[in-house]
Copies of this chain bind each other. A is one copy, B any other.
Amino acid sequence: MGLKHEMIAQDLAEKIKHQQFLPGDFLPSEKQLCELYGTSRETTRKALNHLAELGLIQKLKGKGSLVLDIQKYTFPISGITSFQELNDSLGLHAQTKVLQQKTGAAPKYFGQTPIEAKKAIFIERLRIIDQQPAVLDQDYLLDPPITVLPKDVAQHSLYAYLENELGLEIDYATKEITVEQVEPAIAEKLALKANEPAVVVRSLSYLADTTPFQLTTSYHRPDKFKFIDFARRKKLNH
């Protein structure tokens, strides 16, 4: 079970990552890819457009699909990616220390957005890289839709549990990055110097049916923080 255009995109992405296509190379033409995968042109084009959005290739009219020079660490960071996934795909071998897990009331607001769910599971986790605290994550998993969370999930991949065990479809999120002074308890956990601010990433994540399910605040040590993004120019802003 798999959609054709996604499988083509997946396959080509793998081949680019494994350097079977090098930056500066052209991918096979759409016609050749159609024959190769046994699909129609529109389907092949859907896959190529997906890769272009991700910044893996650049489509040049009349010429072909050029493989771009994206360093490995450039692409997984933007978008919605769990720390565990990042850890795996970048080989960070970071350590996760679960500081708290309890149930309680859900926050009433995220910025100006009111939160409907009344209950939530609260998790606090410290991410340690090279024996140094790097990130403090505070998560509220909203109930509904998430009613229980087995004890060991927070230690491993939350997203894998939600997607694979509960069958939830994680779809989109809004994020906000600021730099702030944080309360002493948090500063202490991150081993910040006196008056040193933290990078605060607040995000609200939604399922495919538009139900919000997770509210996260991540506090990053500023010297460990790096956000890398690939963006295409969109022309729909009035």
Contacts and interface: CB of A to CB of B under 8 A. Distances in A.
Interface string A168-179: 001111111111
Contacts of A50: 236
Nearest to A6: B235
Interface in A200-215: 208-210
A124 interface: no
A79 B233 CA distance: 6
Q: Name the residue in A71, A74, A175 with the highest tally of chain B Cβ atoms < 10 Å from its Cβ.
A: A175
A171 B227 contact: no
Nearest to A111: B71
Contacts of A131: none
Interface in A2-57: 6, 9-10, 13-14, 17, 42, 50, 53-55
Contacts of A232: 79-80, 171-172
15 contacts: A13-B238, A14-B238, A54-B234, A74-B174, A79-B234, A80-B233, A81-B237, A175-B229, A175-B230, A175-B231, A176-B227, A177-B226, A177-B228, A179-B225, A197-B222
